[in-house]
Structure 1
């Protein structure tokens, strides 16, 4: 079984690589810096060193693979994030259209089903549509809001403040990226699915940001208060940081376009994963804030 894994050192990709190795698969990993894999991992994978924004590298690296796990590497701060994401995925789409790739498991997001109006998530919708048009077997994993997004504002949390532009009272799915990795690995190893498949990964429960603040208060052993901010306030902050207009709107749009969103797939046995935010915060977040 030939499996290609992109972003193998990320929150999801690193879990996928580990599980594939434990299952007896030697995955082909596409990575800019092999040293970040760790020596034990490097010995058990096929390393292709290069940049996912290099079309020639991606086209050659995925050719002949039975399955490809695709994670868009485009930072939200890119000058034109949607266009960059679509351009970066183009070599994979070309390989799929040419029959050089058998299956694709794509890390997508809740909100991609809207197809437009959800900021940088619009790019994932576009990649979904392009892969669908190739007629290869493709699985779109529509993932919930990552627990690890909380790591982006450790300074604020250290001061007891959880800032968000999302609707603070709207319940939304939250998920541990490790649990997403479990789902990805299971799907990559399975030969049972065919055609176009969409699977949401909702985490264990829907939470409002008010509930998240309370969970963090208990898990961290310190008060955490919620600080809701407006879209315009976010725009002002991002512009002051020097981000280009398209990046600003790509970031603002993800929160604005998600307000009131009801995911396309309901919560059920297939879409629900086990790790709680409370347990994750106590194990992962609390040590970082106490260190």
Structure 2
């Protein structure tokens, strides 16, 4: 099986690559800068320079591929939803033009809403576009990444996380490596077909209060959490230079999922993955907080 992997240096993609290598597969990896690949990986993969927003290069890079792990790249333009739409056009053209029969797409909890969840709406539209191609596709509806906490290192060092979600609202938290394990299994398995949705929920639903307690115990630093008004976060994002469309996309990922939202896929043994936030924080976050990096 010829497998292509996008974002192979990302939080999930890099684990997908190494898992495929361990399974005996030499994946084709698609990325802007092949030099960013880890040195030990470069000779083990087929690296192709690709801009995922350029449909022509995506089509050329996926010629001869049987299965594709697709992740929309992190938006960098003024309108995140427009960036997701551009990425979607690329994967649609690649799948149809190269007759790729199997796709595993990294989506998100909340995409089932289809509208009203900020940037997650862009993932929902990619799901819908892939569904219309008549190929075998699995959408991974992932919970909140542990690694998102690395975007708030300064706040963690200061001892207080600020969020706009209710502090006692539970949600799924998941390790990117566990997402990669599900993705690699799906890519390698020949026992499924059609359209599938596979939620990846991590080991437990956690409230922000529970997260703060877990981080305190794992890192040895007293960490609290407080809820702030939507307008406070909006003003902060605007001061950082974010466009109105970008601000709406970021806010919507929280505001769209806090009022009576229930994930389409309930937590089951199939959606529950093993890595705990406590273990991840002890292994990955504790040192970063201590050394200031």
TM range (shorter): over 0.9
Q: Does 1:123 align with 2:122?
A: yes
Q: Per-residue displacement from partner, 1:20-42 (whole Å, max 9, x unpaired)?
A: 01110000000111122122211
Question: Contact 1:163–1:227 (CA<8 Å) still a contact in 2?
Answer: yes
Q: TM-score, normalising length from structure 2?
A: 0.96
Q: Per-residue displacement from partner, 1:5-28 (whole Å, max 9, x unpaired)?
A: 000000100000000011100000
1:19-168 paired onto structure 2 within 5 Å: 19-75=19-75, 78-98=77-97, 100-168=99-167
Question: Contact 1:97–1:135 (CA<8 Å) still a contact in 2?
Answer: no
1:212 maps to: 211
Question: Contact 2:167–2:208 (CA<8 Å) still a contact in 1?
Answer: yes
Q: Structure 2: how far apart are the matches of 1:156 and 1:182? A: 30
Question: Contact 2:59–2:98 (CA<8 Å) still a contact in 1?
Answer: no
2:283 maps to: 283
Question: Contact 2:104–2:137 (CA<8 Å) still a contact in 1?
Answer: yes
Structure 2: 5+ residue stretches without partners: none
Q: Per-residue displacement from partner, 1:181-210 (whole Å, max 9, x unpaired)?
A: 111111111011100000000000000001
Question: Contact 1:97–1:136 (CA<8 Å) still a contact in 2?
Answer: no
Q: Structure 2: how far apart are the matches of 1:168 and 1:63? A: 47
Q: Structure 2: how far apart are the matches of 1:78 and 1:213? A: 32
1:13 maps to: 13
Structure 1: 5+ residue stretches without partners: none
Q: Structure 2: how far apart are the matches of 1:195 and 1:161? A: 45
Q: Structure 2: how far apart are the matches of 1:135 and 1:99? A: 14
Superposition deviation, residue 96 in structure 1:
2.3
Q: Structure 2: how far apart are the matches of 1:87 and 1:81? A: 10
Question: Contact 1:219–1:281 (CA<8 Å) still a contact in 2?
Answer: yes
Superposition deviation, residue 53 in structure 1:
1.6
Higher alpha-carbon deviation: 169-178 or 46-55 = 46-55
Once superposed, what is the RMSD of the aligned Cα atoms?
1.1
Q: Structure 2: how far apart are the matches of 1:231 and 1:154? A: 21
Superposition deviation, residue 59 in structure 1:
1.3
Superposition deviation, residue 55 in structure 1:
1.7
Higher alpha-carbon deviation: 166-175 or 3-12 = 166-175
Q: Structure 2: how far apart are the matches of 1:164 and 1:269? A: 30
Structure 1 residues 136 and 26: alpha-carbon distance in aligned structure 2, compared to 1, 3 A threshold: same
1:216-227 paired onto structure 2 within 5 Å: 216-227=215-226
Superposition deviation, residue 83 in structure 1:
1.5
Q: Structure 1: how far apart are the matches of 2:271 and 2:224? A: 30
Superposition deviation, residue 165 in structure 1:
1.7
Q: TM-score, normalising length from structure 1?
A: 0.97
Higher alpha-carbon deviation: 191-200 or 78-87 = 78-87
Superposition deviation, residue 74 in structure 1:
2.9
Q: Structure 2: how far apart are the matches of 1:204 and 1:185? A: 19
Q: Structure 1: how far apart are the matches of 2:204 and 2:218? A: 17
Superposition deviation, residue 45 in structure 1:
0.5
| Matched residue SS, 1:193 | coil
Superposition deviation, residue 253 in structure 1:
0.3
